[in-house]
Structure 1
């Protein structure tokens, strides 16, 4: 999967549980939901996302989870949200949001049965369960 060019600047990833999949995006253009975890291994998480192989997309797009990629501390954009991704593991689609997101990256199908997708979903579920 292609990532925005700002992905290399990411130092923290928030795991988001999308509680209302039909309203997954806010009016401000961000992923709507509850932050259930903060993953300091941001580049490992983005490596999983980057390793997601393409797939056949379906049409439901009712995402259950998302991520917010924050810039690493100490840089010009320290702490700012660089981009966000909402994932629908049912229809095999990922939607990207943010200023650095180009049309070629904005929506991408993926294979939810792949090892990287299963690991990403496991992390989401584990974080959501721990958050209650």
Structure 2
């Protein structure tokens, strides 16, 4: 499960375009700009989609183009940066110290659905760092 903590406490999810993927090993927050924010049932559905992403074989590049910021009633729950090339997701939980990399299957229906949501939020011609669909 990529989404740590209490998924029932999700209030808002921000879809984010990562602006600089270098130095990710030292990130305490994902550098990026919010493309769109979703709340209510849409936020719950998005976190459920991420929680249901199947495991995948981790590769090496990790050049994330998109991320999620998951907010609960008490503030930021976590941030997850996704690289759809190497099938890695960097999970950052505020106040928990070191972040972790998790593998996910970017080619699965759930992975492709998530990528499509990012691309739709990003607009035509804006997405970079992803392999062609």
TM-score range, shorter chain: 0.7 to 0.9
TM-score (ref. length: structure 2): 0.82
Q: How has the CA–CA distance of structure 1 residues 110 and 102 changed in structure 2, closer, same or farther, with 3 Å as cutoff?
A: farther
Structure 1 vs Structure 2 CA RMSD: 2.3
Contact 1:2 1:50 in 2 (8 A): yes
Following the alignment from structure 1 to structure 2, what is the Cα–Cα distance between the partners of residues 26 and 16?
19
2:59 aligned partner: 58
Check if 1:113 corresponds to 2:68.
no
TM-score (ref. length: structure 1): 0.82
Following the alignment from structure 1 to structure 2, what is the Cα–Cα distance between the partners of residues 7 and 47?
8
Contact 2:3 2:78 in 1 (8 A): no
2:91 aligned partner: 96
Deviation at 1:44, TM superposition (A): 0.3
Contact 1:83 1:98 in 2 (8 A): yes
1:11 aligned partner: 11
Deviation at 1:22, TM superposition (A): 2.0
